[in-house]
Amino acid sequence: MQIEVTHDVFRLAQAFTISRGSRSEAKVLSVTLDGLGRGECVPYARYGETLESVTAQIEGLPSDITREGLPDLLPAGAARNSVDCALWDLEAKQAGCRVWDLLGLPKPAPEFTAYTLSLDTPERMEAQAALNAKRALLKIKLGTPDDMVRLEAVRRGAPDTPIIIDANEGWTAEIYADLAPHLIRLGVQMVEQPLPADDDDMLAEVARPLPVCADESCHDRASLPALKGKYDMVNVKLDKAGGLTEALALKEAAMAEGYGIMVGCMVGSSLAMAPATILAQGVAFTDLDGPLLLAEDRDTPLLYDDQGVHPPAAALWG
């Protein structure tokens, strides 16, 4: 099997900021297998990944890779995600069917997706909230000492829109405990990763008056035992799990243990989101807004409308 890896850059519609930093471009890796099967990943520095390191992982694979053997060759992460998704795409194209047919699943229905407001001044976040107040769900990036001012501003801008929060590991247990009553007052429906992944044991000892979702603390099925008693939900992302295969297995295992499911994404193109539309069916929260944050996208991009994000056309993926 021939493996081609390319570096692609997509301009963002505006700067995207979280508690760790800001960016104006989405830098991704695209994988093509035998000129047909395609996948995309977003290497993430938080997990020690770079464009160069992930490229080396992919280019080091043998030519006889299979989806079943891939977990023995690559750890969960961006490299395995791009190859796993490309293998699914290749198999579907060779079989003349769709990936959901290979999985024995019905065609995915559109799913309402969160729209993310990146970290900014309260005034700008309020303005962005007002512009997007008709969205089905707003996701607010926080994780700073001034979060209440920002959250109050967003609620003024979008007084009736459902809100979820992502603190990106930016709080302490004390800050979270102080903020929680105000989050409920402002109608926040869920908080994502309030504490650092390596210092989240306090979540088992404090009250959780609204659902707490594990993001950086949950990668694949091996993460689940350490989450007990600390989290109510898990954020399943293809780039963390290592592809659609493990992400589907993680979703099933987490649901069996009583966790709610959020399906999230890195900031990438429609090719990166396409497999996740299968994963997102029927979950509590879908956050597949990456393409909505871009100024440019793939040919045959995903369709977003008032029904949500639709499954991909075959020309894009799967």
Catalytic residues: 141, 237
Per-residue tokens: 18:
């979280």
Cα 271 to its chain centre, rounded Å, is: 13
Amino acid letter, 173: A
Instruction: Check if the beta carbon of residue 1 is closer than 8 Å to that of residue 36.
Output: no
Of residues 102, 90, 141, 98, the one with CA closest to residue 120: 141
Q: With both helix axes pointing from N to C terminus, report the angle between 147-157 and 122-131 in degrees, rounded to the nearest 10.
A: 30
User: CA triplet 23, 26, 31: central angle to 5 degrees?
Assistant: 155
Identify the residue whose tokens are 């471009």: 25
Q: With both helix axes pointing from N to C terminus, report the angle between 78-95 and 51-59 in degrees, rounded to the nearest 10.
A: 50
Separation of alpha carbons 190 and 184, rounded Å: 9
